[in-house]
Structure 1
Amino acid sequence: MGYYVSVESGVKLYVEDINPKGSKPIVFLHGWPLSHKQFEYQFDVLPAMGYRCIGIDWRGFGKSDKPMSGYNYNRLADDIRTVVGVLQLNNFTLVGHSTGGAIAIRYTSRYNGYGVSKLILVDAAAPIGFTTETANSLLTQALNDRPKMMREVTETFFFQFITGPFSEWFIQLGLQAAGWSTAAIIITLRDEKLYADLQKIIAPTLIVHGVHDKVIPFAQAEELNQKIRNSQLVPFHYSGHGPFWEERDKFNQLLRQFIG
């Protein structure tokens, strides 16, 4: 079922709640500039195994409202906290991919891991996001030819071959976002750092990262593993930035094993 949750006056987030009677809730935070639909190949499988899967489109992306402001990690984490409160979630697994991983880290740090029993970081954009050079290039593209930018993002996203139809579907996920929110998150990824947050993470943490990631280097996953206590790193040897699709069977099985 899908519904909207108000996170502040005039701003509602879209939430997809699959198998709401499932015994083990998993909250999924997508990457930039996509939506919860990027996890389609988890939602196809995990709810049938008894898990409750909750996909949240952050503000400015997917089906959520697209205000002109609020695209920093604190505000985005606050939005997630509001959704968690409204849904009365507790003892849930928080999964964050790429920028969603950065938001998950800030949520865990800012709210002392409220409700989070386990944390899964997938090719997380942390402790840093984009280099200044990369960010400025993407920013120029986003503000002048966003469809071309999205096509180039898709081309660097995956290590394995993707079909033309899949590529077009993926591009359209990114184009659902507003241009201004797409640009604002690029700036956040360039300017905000998460070093101080890492020592505050206390939940058992699984770090998943594609060895061939051209978006967020694998070395950053190794750094996260060093700085987050009670963490484990599992490299995906046949993936770039999207192991949730490129090695989806392995990914889904690993999630099940880690969550229990």
Structure 2
Amino acid sequence: MIASDSNQVKIQQKPSRTILWLSGWSMPDTVFDRLRELLPDFHHISVDYSDADSPETMLLLTETAAQNLMITECKTRADRGQLLIGGWSLGGLLALRLAVKGLADGLVLFAATARFTRSVEERDRGWADAYVRQMMKGLMKDRQGVETKFRQNMFTEAEWEAGLGKRFPLIGSWTTPALIAGLQILRSEEVLSGLPEIECPVLLVHGTEDKICPFNAAAELVAQLPQAELLSIADCGHASFLGREDEIAEELRRWWDEQQDD
């Protein structure tokens, strides 16, 4: 289901600029609300895959949304405006997948990776597949426990003490099938081989202390993407935008304006 943001924004006269928001695993898109408020010069759209019943459904929802916003045979690129895809974690992986297919003019990625599950040799860039499979099994027995443990890994100790974790929505916004579908995508989806084909500019925002998508995953993206800029957030965990929305919004606008000048 594609939903327009409840707070409609003013669209620029030349040309319109849209951000398609893709949230992280188990998270509602309301986590982006503050960012959207700070970016009134963009039109905001989100994809709700919180009740997707399979990986195929989740992938189809995101791809259909991007296709609908991209160029049609009756419009030129200038007519339709510009499409950025903002993705966090799982949403970042989905955004990269769409960009490989040419369905984006730019990407803004928070704590993203081109492949979530990794071998022992690549453990500095992701998680072991066995751990993700364990999460899938755990969801059937103690769903709340699995989501709680995942959230505990999202923040550094200092961020927890600062109360950052309390700013997240309550657990339970996704259905169990959607949670499983998201984990299946994290297990199987791989866009490493397609990174050189992504021609659009990419802004990466990544915490240096991220325990879920390690910082080396961002370094890997920078090394292989043709047009990538990395904004590293020191002493920050997996939610690299939370509590820093003012700074991120300013950097996003600055970065995108520079792309237009180029």
Q: TM-score range by the shorter chain?
A: 0.7 to 0.9
50, 56, 79: which one pairs with 2:64? 79
Query: Unmatched 5+ residue regions in structure 2?
Result: 118-126, 258-262
Measured after TM superposition, the shift of residue 208 of structure 1 is 1.2
Moved over 6 A (4+): 163-166
User: What secondary structure is seen at the aligned counterpart in 2 of 1:216?
Assistant: coil
Matched-pair contact (CA < 8 Å) for 2:53–2:181: no
Instruction: Give the AA of the match of 1:21.
Output: K
Instruction: Give the AA of the match of 1:202.
Output: E
Q: Tell me the TM-score normalised to structure 1 length.
A: 0.80
Work out whether 1:217 is the aligned partner of 2:214: yes
User: What secondary structure is seen at the aligned counterpart in 2 of 1:22?
Assistant: coil
Work out whether 1:126 is the aligned partner of 2:110: no
Aligned to 1:41: 34
Work out whether 1:55 is the aligned partner of 2:53: no
252, 255, 260: which one pairs with 2:252? 255
Q: How does 1:82-121 map to 2 (within 5 A)?
A: 82-84=67-69, 90-110=81-101, 112=102, 114=103, 116-121=104-109
Equivalences, count: 237
**C-alpha distance in 2 between matches for 1:90 and 1:143:** 44
138, 142, 149: which one pairs with 1:152? 149
Q: Do the aligned partners of residues 35 and 171 (structure 1) sit closer, same or farther apart at CA in structure 2, a change above 3 Å counting?
A: closer
Q: Deviations over 1:49-79 (max 9, x none)?
A: x23222322x2x1xxxx34234477534423
Matched-pair contact (CA < 8 Å) for 1:29–1:36: yes
Q: Tell me the TM-score normalised to structure 2 length.
A: 0.80
**C-alpha distance in 2 between matches for 1:142 and 1:163:** 28
Work out whether 1:184 is the aligned partner of 2:181: yes
* More displaced 10-residue stretch of structure 1: 88-97 or 178-187: 88-97
Q: Do the aligned partners of residues 146 and 164 (structure 1) sit closer, same or farther apart at CA in structure 2, a change above 3 Å counting?
A: farther
User: What secondary structure is seen at the aligned counterpart in 2 of 1:245?
Assistant: coil
Matched-pair contact (CA < 8 Å) for 1:243–1:251: no
**C-alpha distance in 2 between matches for 1:246 and 1:240:** 12
Q: Deviations over 1:193-217 (max 9, x none)?
A: 1112212100111111110101011
Query: Unmatched 5+ residue regions in structure 1?
Result: 1-11
Between structure 1 and structure 2, the one with the greater Rg is 2
**C-alpha distance in 2 between matches for 1:164 and 1:204:** 34
Work out whether 1:29 is the aligned partner of 2:22: yes
Measured after TM superposition, the shift of residue 36 of structure 1 is 1.1
Q: Deviations over 1:16-44 (max 9, x none)?
A: 26434322322221111112111122123
Identical aligned residues as a percent: 22
Work out whether 1:19 is the aligned partner of 2:12: no
Work out which structure has the larger RCO, using CA pairs closer than 8 Å and 6 or more positions apart in sequence. 2
Measured after TM superposition, the shift of residue 84 of structure 1 is 2.0
